[in-house]
Structure 1
Amino acid sequence: MTTYTETAAPLHSEQGWFSRSESWLDSKGKGAWIAAMVLGFVFFWPIGLALLFYMIWSKKMFSSSFRHRSASKRWARHSMSSTGNSAFDAYKEDTLQRLEQEQSDFESFLQRLRDAKDKAEFDDFMDERAKAAGSEDSAKES
């Protein structure tokens, strides 16, 4: 009699326990890192100290949005993986390229808009300055 034993691979089997726990803490936010550090100090102070040094070294303590960065990394990893359907993969690649082009066009439009606003404000400033200088000159001549 033959039995079939299913061996399920653990999630993220290609990553080590440290990478998995780091990803988990990143997904929970800065508060989770701080809580882990405090718990490390409470239970065994070298662990808390190691977590503190790691957070400072990796700049997790001072970054405001590492949750957003890690989420965008996960999305980028997921969006670049092949589905096995070549037609869909080609469509997805074309769509991503089009969206990237639209984003860069929009960013350049916003930059031109900011430049035009800055130029208009500077021109207004120079006009006001010239008017003020003109009124001072006419006041001195009188």
Structure 2
Amino acid sequence: MNETALLRPAWTPLTIALMVVGFIVFWPLGLVMLAYIIWGDRLNMNRSEWKRSAGRAFGSCRRSMKDSMRQADDRMSSTGNAAFDEWRRSEMQRIDEERRKLDEMRAEFDRYTDELRKARDREEFDRFMRERNNTGFGGTPAPEA
């Protein structure tokens, strides 16, 4: 982590003050700040990694919420106007299909960015190994064979 950052996961006057204020204002905030101070250095993820891990953690909640909303809509579906009910049902099916397509596109894009990241990591590692093999272990050029 960057040790010059003002708010870093360490016992600094700022983090201690934020933790105390958190406990005074709303005790779970104090606990969150305490957890950040203790385990924050393990949270070395960038924004896209956070989004991906949150998606994995809460994706099932989102799906179950969509299902429960759809079931609630099905229970309250009759308005007394058969034409409107049929139109609304067809629109809901169309919207669900669009949502499914968007979810597939998002998953495809996530796979694409993962592949790009892996390729970049592989390229950096290969470059490191080439430089390491060219210079030897002590920083001096390797002897010619």
Q: TM-score, normalised by structure 2?
A: 0.44
User: Relative contact order: is structure 1 or structure 2 higher (C-alpha 8 Å, sep ≥ 6)?
Assistant: 1
Q: TM-score, normalised by structure 1?
A: 0.45
